[in-house]
Amino acid sequence: MEKKIGFNGFMGRLLHHMLASELLNVKWAYILSKIGHNYKAKRRRDGTRASDHPRMAAIIAIDELGIKEWMLIVTILLHDIREDSYLLDEELIILIFGRTVARWVKLLTKKNKKIYHKLLAECEIWQVLLVKLCDRLHNLRTLPPNDPVFIQKQIKETRKYFFDFADTLIALLPRKNKWRGEYLKEQIQKICDQYPT
């Protein structure tokens, strides 16, 4: 079971690594993510609140990958927001967080599930791929409470697309940061190995 990390625990991880204006952006993203994902008391398949997922995906980036860039953290917090809520559209994201964050969130939003993975594979923006792999790693770590059919579907999808995403991420990352892509791939591989086909 995951350790619950609230607002203070989350923001405390970034307090000495960002400017005040950057921390404010993260704070707004945290609040908007929580409100947007938790409306109608929405829950995930494992019973946790919907907003727990983007927050914990961001914790993976912060704690395990050492990510302290505000735009990346904001993007992780908002990566599902346009699918799961009407709270933010592209124009509002541009207004609050800028065009770069809005573009990354747009690329991460499933508009057409049939071509979603193809578009991700072709985007060649390492930040987008890193967010997507943090998202998938957290989803995989919370698989056990789900039914076997759903689990196998997730593992099959991961094997089909996400190792290629990881390889592309590793190729795109600056040399000193390639370890982050390698780490994500290794963590995802470990979980997939627990579910032989």
DSSP 15-56: TTTS-HHHHHHHHHHHHHHHHHHHGGG-B-TTSSBTTHHHHH
pLDDT at 144: 82
Q: Report if residue 86 sits inside a domain.
A: yes
> Which CATH number fits the domain that encloses residue 22?
1.10.3210.10
Partners of residue 188 on adjacent β-strands: none
pLDDT at 37 over 90: no
Joined together, the tokens standing for residue 24 give 């404010």
Write out the residue range of the structural domain in which residue 169 sits.
7-193
Question: 110-118: long-range contacts at Cβ-Cβ below 8 A with a sequence spacing of 24 or more?
Answer: 110/83, 117/160, 117/161
Q: Report if residue 2 sits inside a domain.
A: no
pLDDT at 40 over 80: no
pLDDT mean over 54-67: 97
Share of the chain above pLDDT 70, in %: 91
Can you give the C-alpha Rg of the chain in angstroms? Answer: 16
pLDDT at 156 over 90: yes
pLDDT at 81 over 70: yes
Q: Report if residue 51 sits inside a domain.
A: yes
Q: Report if residue 1 sits inside a domain.
A: no
Q: Report if residue 15 sits inside a domain.
A: yes
| Number of separate domains in the chain | 1
Q: Report if residue 95 sits inside a domain.
A: yes
Q: Report if residue 17 sits inside a domain.
A: yes
Lowest mean pLDDT among 45-49, 106-110, 117-121, 154-158: 45-49
Helix (H) or strand (E) segment spanning residue 8:
helix 7-12
Instruction: Tell me if 182 sits within 8 A of 170, measured CB to CB.
Output: yes
pLDDT at 1 over 90: no
Please tell me the pTM assigned to this model: 0.92
Report the C-alpha gap between 5 and 12 in whole angstroms. Answer: 11
Q: Report if residue 38 sits inside a domain.
A: yes
